[in-house]
Amino acid sequence: MSETPTCACGSAPKLIYPCSGSADVGALADLAARQMTRDGIGKMSCLAGIGGRVSGLMVSTKCASKVLAIDGCPLNCAKKTLELTGFAGFAHLCLADAGFQKGQSPATSENTLKVVHIAAPLLAD
C-alpha cells in the first residue's frame, strides 16, 4: 500500500529556500527570505534539512504549492540542493543575475528590500 505524502503544516505553503552562504549575497538571500516570511509572501524553510533529507521537511516541500530557491552567487547551492534531492519545477533566483555581486552587496535594509521586490513575484499566484 502506497501512502500519499501529507503536509504537516495543514495547508500547501509557499516555501522559500535561501542559500545563506558565507558572503554578503548569502546574507541578502537569507534576510530577504526572512522578510518575505514576515510579510506573509511565503515561509522560509531549512535548506540544510533538505540536504540532510529530513523526512518532515521533504514531505512539506513535496506538498508545497510553490517553492523558491534564492542563491546569492552563481554556485547556485540552493538550486542544486533541491535538484539533488529530487525536486524540480521550482522557481529560482540567483542574486548575481539580478546585479548583486559577492563582496560588493552589503546586507543592508535597502538591498534586502530590493531582493524582496525581485523575489516576491516568483511566488505570486
Extents of the domains making up the chain: 14-123
Q: What is the mean pLDDT of residues 65-94?
A: 98
- DSSP for residue 71: E
Judge if pTM exceeds 0.85.
yes
**Distance in angstroms between the alpha carbons of the first and the last residue of the chain:** 34
Residue identified by cell 563582496 is 103
Q: What are the pLDDT digits (tens) for 35-73? A: 999 999 999 999 999 999 999 999 999 999 999 999 999
Model pLDDT, residue 2: 41
Q: What are the pLDDT digits (tens) for 99-117? A: 999 999 999 999 999 999 9
Complete edge-to-edge strand list for the sheet that includes strand 66-71? 43-44, 14-18, 66-71, 91-94
C-alpha torsion angle, residues 122, 17, 34, 19 (rounded to 10): -110
Beta pairing partners, 70: 18, 93
Query: Alpha-carbon distance 51 to 35, whole Å?
Result: 23
CATH T-level assignment (fold) for domain 14-123: Rossmann fold (3.40.50)
